Amino acid sequence: MALPHCTDLQFRPALTQMKPYAPGEQPPPGKFIKLNTNENPFPPPPAVVRAITEAANGPLNRYPDPLATSFRRAAAEALGLPGPEWVLAGNGSDEILTLLVRGFVGESQSLRLPTPSYILYRTLADIQGAKWEQVAFTEDWQLPAEFRQPREDLRLVLLPNPNSPSGTVVPPSEIESIADSLTCPLVVDEAYADFAEENCLDLVQRHERILVTRTLSKSYALAGVRFGFLVAQPHVIAELTKIKDSYNCDAISIAAATAAMQSQTWLADVVTSVNCTRARLETELAGLGFDVVPSHANFVWCTHPSGEHRAIYEFLKANQILVRYMDFGDWGDGLRISVGTDDQIDACLLMIQRALAKLTT
Amino acid sequence: MALPHCTDLQFRPALTQMKPYAPGEQPPPGKFIKLNTNENPFPPPPAVVRAITEAANGPLNRYPDPLATSFRRAAAEALGLPGPEWVLAGNGSDEILTLLVRGFVGESQSLRLPTPSYILYRTLADIQGAKWEQVAFTEDWQLPAEFRQPREDLRLVLLPNPNSPSGTVVPPSEIESIADSLTCPLVVDEAYADFAEENCLDLVQRHERILVTRTLSKSYALAGVRFGFLVAQPHVIAELTKIKDSYNCDAISIAAATAAMQSQTWLADVVTSVNCTRARLETELAGLGFDVVPSHANFVWCTHPSGEHRAIYEFLKANQILVRYMDFGDWGDGLRISVGTDDQIDACLLMIQRALAKLTT
């Protein structure tokens, strides 16, 4: 339909110029083996499904608890935090990251992120009309000294740990030392920390400038429910609570997330299973000639000497297997493969083998 | 627990100075007759509860549809819009309002709102580091000419219609004329429009600067689910889609909201019932000596010649009935009473009668 007016709307210039963040492909369910967005291949804890069904029959005509108290209590209990006032609940950790950027970074101030890493942080800076600077990981995925340099207009530093796409971790002792060096808050994005051996929750109790974000999308198999949270000192939580929407989490997701935090045995079993499959995926990819970075997350980053990453991705996609092809410009490209079930990984490995056979003959 | 550090975190100055928005009281369920936050007293459409239960057993480990396509199709169909590209789904209309402020109003630019009205708009300007200006309604709830004056730094005008706390409406023809006069977008917040005779959806098709927000919290009895949406021309929707979180609505709320839009017969019945009770509430309040503004929403604004509004509110609260006491400073104060079930309204009226008897003897 033709529009009645030529547009003369004045959006903020920062927005009209920006390129939006592009999430991984989400094809209709059932058609693909989906190993491209680091979802958990298992269904969520049974207690979560029961909690949702119960909440569906609750007073949905009433506003939810604006502070998601039941969830915050369950999270504090499960994670060994001093109390619920150390937790801020959000509509996915994306919302928490948005709140952090809005809370700390003004127009024309800066945030810092490593690269290759999670480029959403750049989009959040763009939306805010703020600047971003990238500091490249070294070849063996270490952070150079530049990453910890303070600067007057630098207002937030973000570090996914484990990182994506590499699956590598920076040890908590080093993160503490980075935070000591900086003068602005350091956000440790622990979306994948449940699959790793260490995390930074203890550091939060010692450092007001260390802020940890978590999500229920990956380890708890709840990407569809949108629930994430921040762990930080209570005065930080209180200040950020002022800028969130009053009712940012709905009654059903609060019930689901509370039940998820109370499912720690389920979590331990699923993490063990995913990490076991991950080890097998790493070994078999190496056997196929790939350079594989040892992963502490639920995905594996790999590159092949042939450099045919895009072609392998396309071949897999044509055969109903979706992995993530990522191109970081000068830095290079590669494939990020989410850890699926054993059957899904077997199918993926078989198809990679066929792709290589086809591409290298 | 004592904090290990004195705080030296640099939040954005706009935030540390601002006073957060205070939503209506949300006491634990069951203890009060709750007539203070304009919730629907009835349970949501049965199809919604079925849709949630079904979604709970769906692939919650997978990310939801980032564009909420099923909902947008159902909304376009129910509202007679040209197509789903005229609709943007959000995590409550609060999120839509946040996106609009972030989309159009930069730091140190301005937005305009009427007063007495929905003060959340002021909070959204404060969070953004923007300015806000209030234009007072006339005594008979008309908008003065000042409301339609364009100005260079004025980037957004917001008008709840029906307005809260008054329940009054500005006719669509006048809204069109206001939009013609302004040079920035005019947001018509139609949270309560399902309870009114007219709305501005048709205007959106003629004016790119008229943007209509809706919520499922009130008329669809889904405050607990957090779902709202924007109706605007497709290029406006496309631009704002760039700044929303990729997955701002979860799989369960999308299923619930889709089912709600497909429950138009349920909606018509509930609106008839609420409006019938509202008429009775207005008549009986007038009989008790109140000045009552004829309402086009699911609440009634009333003032009493005694001026004892706060005392009446306190008396009701002590007797487990919550209404909203609102004080607009120089403008004056009053009571906003949500339309509950007939039984709830009978109980409320009886208690008001007792309060008046006590306060005026």
- Chain segment A284-295, per-residue pLDDT in tens: 999 999 999 999
Tell me the average pLDDT of chain A.
Answer: 95
Q: Please check whether residues B214 and B325 belong to one and the same domain.
A: no
- Asked if residue A17 has pLDDT above 90, the reply is no
Q: Is residue B15 part of a domain?
A: no
B246/A23 Cβ within 8 A = yes
Domain count within chain B = 2
Segment B267-313, tens digit of pLDDT: 999 999 999 999 999 999 999 999 999 999 999 999 999 999 999 99
Smallest Cβ–Cβ distance between A250 and the set B62, B184, B225 belongs to: B225
Interface test with A, best of B35, B40, B209, B226 (most A CBs within 10 A): B226
Q: Which domain holds residue A217?
A: 46-263
Q: Please check whether residues A276 and A258 belong to one and the same domain.
A: no
Q: Please check whether residues B104 and B241 belong to one and the same domain.
A: yes
Q: Please check whether residues B256 and B287 belong to one and the same domain.
A: no
Structural domain ending residue among the three candidates A222, A238, A263: A263
Name the minimum distance, in Å, from the CA of B87 to any CA of chain A: 15
- CATH number of the domain that residue B150 is part of: 3.40.640.10
- Predicted confidence band at A4 (pLDDT cuts at 50, 70, 90)? very low
Q: Please check whether residues B88 and B232 belong to one and the same domain.
A: yes
> Nearest chain A Cα to B222, which residue?
A61
**Euclidean distance between the first and the last CA atom of chain B, given in angstroms as a whole number:** 50
Average pLDDT over residues A200-208: 97
Structural domain ending residue among the three candidates B263, B294, B326: B263
Q: Which is more confident, A4 or A205?
A: A205
Using the Cβ of A157 and the Cβ atoms of chain B, whether some distance falls under 8 Å is answered with no
- Predicted confidence band at A7 (pLDDT cuts at 50, 70, 90)? low
Interface test with A, best of B38, B62, B126, B152 (most A CBs within 10 A): B62
Using the Cβ of B40 and the Cβ atoms of chain A, whether some distance falls under 8 Å is answered with yes
Q: Is residue A14 part of a domain?
A: no
A225/B251 Cβ within 8 A = yes
Q: Is residue A13 part of a domain?
A: no
Using the Cβ of A126 and the Cβ atoms of chain B, whether some distance falls under 8 Å is answered with no
pLDDT at residue A194 in the model:
98
pLDDT at residue A21 in the model:
85
- CATH number of the domain that residue A332 is part of: 3.90.1150.10
Segment A211-237, tens digit of pLDDT: 999 999 999 999 999 999 999 999 999
Name the minimum distance, in Å, from the CA of B153 to any CA of chain A: 11
Q: Please check whether residues A84 and A168 belong to one and the same domain.
A: yes
Q: Please check whether residues A71 and A201 belong to one and the same domain.
A: yes
Q: Please check whether residues B146 and B156 belong to one and the same domain.
A: yes
Q: Which is more confident, B5 or A239?
A: A239
Q: Is residue B132 part of a domain?
A: yes
Segment B178-217, tens digit of pLDDT: 999 999 999 999 999 999 999 999 999 999 999 999 999 9
Q: Is residue A30 part of a domain?
A: no
User: Minimum mean pLDDT among A4-8, A154-158, B346-350: which range?
Assistant: A4-8
Residue A201's alpha-carbon distances to A42, A80, A171, A187, in angstroms, are 26, 9, 12, 12
A57/B14 Cβ within 8 A = no
Give, for all 361 residues of chain B, the pLDDT tens digit. 444 444 678 888 888 888 888 888 888 777 899 999 999 999 999 999 999 999 999 999 999 999 999 999 999 999 999 999 999 999 999 999 999 999 999 988 999 999 999 999 999 999 999 999 999 999 999 999 999 999 999 999 999 999 999 999 999 999 999 999 999 999 999 999 999 999 999 999 999 999 999 999 999 999 999 999 999 999 999 999 999 999 999 999 999 999 999 999 999 999 999 999 999 999 999 999 999 999 999 999 999 999 999 999 999 999 999 999 999 998 899 999 999 999 999 999 999 999 999 997 7
Q: Please check whether residues A290 and A236 belong to one and the same domain.
A: no
Q: Please check whether residues B272 and B259 belong to one and the same domain.
A: no
B245/A94 Cβ within 8 A = yes
- Predicted confidence band at A5 (pLDDT cuts at 50, 70, 90)? very low
Segment A57-81, tens digit of pLDDT: 999 999 999 999 999 999 999 999 9
Q: Which is more confident, A22 or B138?
A: B138
Those of residues 277-336 in B touching chain A at CB distance below 8 A are none
In sequence order, the 6+-apart residues with CB closer than 8 A to the CB of B96 are: B88, B90, B213, B228, B229, B230
pLDDT at residue B36 in the model:
96
Q: Please check whether residues B143 and B224 belong to one and the same domain.
A: yes
Smallest Cβ–Cβ distance between A104 and the set B10, B65, B184 belongs to: B10
Q: Is residue B222 part of a domain?
A: yes
Q: Is residue B16 part of a domain?
A: no
Q: Is residue A25 part of a domain?
A: no
Q: Please check whether residues A241 and A292 belong to one and the same domain.
A: no
pLDDT at residue B7 in the model:
63
Which residues of A fall within a CB distance of 8 Å from B15?
103, 239, 242-243
Using the Cβ of A248 and the Cβ atoms of chain B, whether some distance falls under 8 Å is answered with yes
Structural domain ending residue among the three candidates A211, A240, A263: A263
B1/A26 Cβ within 8 A = no
Which residues of A fall within a CB distance of 8 Å from B241?
20
